Amino acid sequence: MQIVFHIGANCTDGDILLRSLMKDVDRLGRDGVVVPGPGRYRKMIRETIQSLGPGADQPDPATRDVLLETILDGQEPRRMVMSNQAFLALPQRVFDGRQFYGLARHKVAALETIFAEDELELFVALRNPATFIPAVWAQATEESFDSFMGGFDPLDLRWSDLVARLRNAAPQARLTVWCNEDSLLIWNTLLHRLAGSPPGTATAEPLGGAWDMLATTMTPDGLARLLSYIKTHPGQSEAQVRLVIGAFLDKYAIQGEIEQEVDLPGWDMPLIEELTRRYEADVALIAAMEGVDFIAA
């Protein structure tokens, strides 16, 4: 079976991605793709991985079958898609032990071990540390920003290091990566990748949730005009559709929905600019990594 898991990161696309996919459960089901509700697997998979613990023995061979039987409830799909943006860590634990997602290797290695006989695919979104750190801090339960960071220097945050650890932890898994900043432009493509649709399907057969992300950032009139334009100009490539979306966003984006204000103690514009510069270089490094399927806008 193809086991697909969207594992984060925190404060990127969140559950909008899952809700968008679940709009097409019947259509996807006819193609052998199941998108179970998160209540069927999140707690159970978390507790299973916790029971293993770093350096623990291999799981009981029946673990995989018990999980799938409970999650699928008798269904026998060729592909199952799951999502949990907090899989790698709860917001308050993102920088535990002065490490960025320090338990990522253990958790992903456990997934590959549990589903060793399946085709595991991992999906993860990146985000500019200049906005990622403030967003995660806003969701954390720590009393102070300093305790939340735990001595971790924001300038040391490297997504490429995390991606390398994910690849090393689950070398047999297919890893798909994209930038959260590009989600508005690639949303429909992303949904089809999760669903395992054949190449070229994204523009020819948009999924029901294809425009969900745009609906949060574009005026209703602007979105209606965009959909009308796409409908009356069929046959465009994914790259062409992204250019069209970008043009409509420039004109119809809701004021304040795309720009994000950063207000943290000790943070100034030079730091934000340096974080952004390093992030852009980091993304270029990730896009060139072997074994990484990078979705570019």
Q: Dump pLDDT digits (tens) for 39-98.
A: 999 999 999 998 886 654 577 778 999 999 999 988 999 999 999 999 999 999 999 999
Asked whether residue 246 is domain-assigned, the answer is no
Q: Which helix (H) or strand (E) holds 122?
A: strand 119-126
Asked whether residue 123 is domain-assigned, the answer is yes
Q: Which residue has the tokens 């943070």?
A: 267
Q: Which of 27-36, 234-243, 262-271 has the highest mean pLDDT?
A: 27-36
Asked whether residue 151 is domain-assigned, the answer is yes
Q: Which residues contact 143 (CB under 8 A, 6 or more apart)?
A: none
Asked whether residue 254 is domain-assigned, the answer is no
Residue 258: pLDDT over 60: no
Q: Centre a 10 Å sphere on the Cβ of residue 130 and count the other Cβ atoms it contains.
A: 22
Asked whether residue 228 is domain-assigned, the answer is no
Q: Centre a 10 Å sphere on the Cβ of residue 195 and count the other Cβ atoms it contains.
A: 20
- Both structure tokens of 225: 């005009």
Asked whether residue 80 is domain-assigned, the answer is yes
Asked whether residue 193 is domain-assigned, the answer is yes
Asked whether residue 250 is domain-assigned, the answer is no
Dist CA 86 CA 10 (whole Å): 6
Q: How many domains does the chain have?
A: 1
- Identify whether the C-beta of residue 123 lies closer than 8 Å to the C-beta of residue 5: yes
Q: Which residue has the tokens 């404060």?
A: 11
**What pTM does this model have?**
0.93
Residue of 284 and 258 predicted with greater confidence: 284
The CA distances from residue 153 to 88, 129, 275, in Å, are: 19, 11, 11
Per-residue pLDDT tens over the stretch 133-159: 999 999 998 889 999 999 999 999 999
Dist CA 34 CA 83 (whole Å): 12
Q: Which sign does the torsion angle of CA 258, 259, 262, 263 carry?
A: negative
Range of the domain at 16: 2-200+266-295
Q: What is the pLDDT of residue 22?
A: 94
Question: Where do the H-state alpha helices sit in 115-218?
Answer: 129-139, 145-149, 159-169, 183-195, 201-204, 212-215
| Residue 9, preceding peptide bond in cis (omega within 30° of 0) | yes
Query: What CATH number should be reported for the domain holding residue 287?
Result: 3.40.50
Q: At what angle do helices 269-287 and 159-169 cross, to 10 degrees?
A: 30
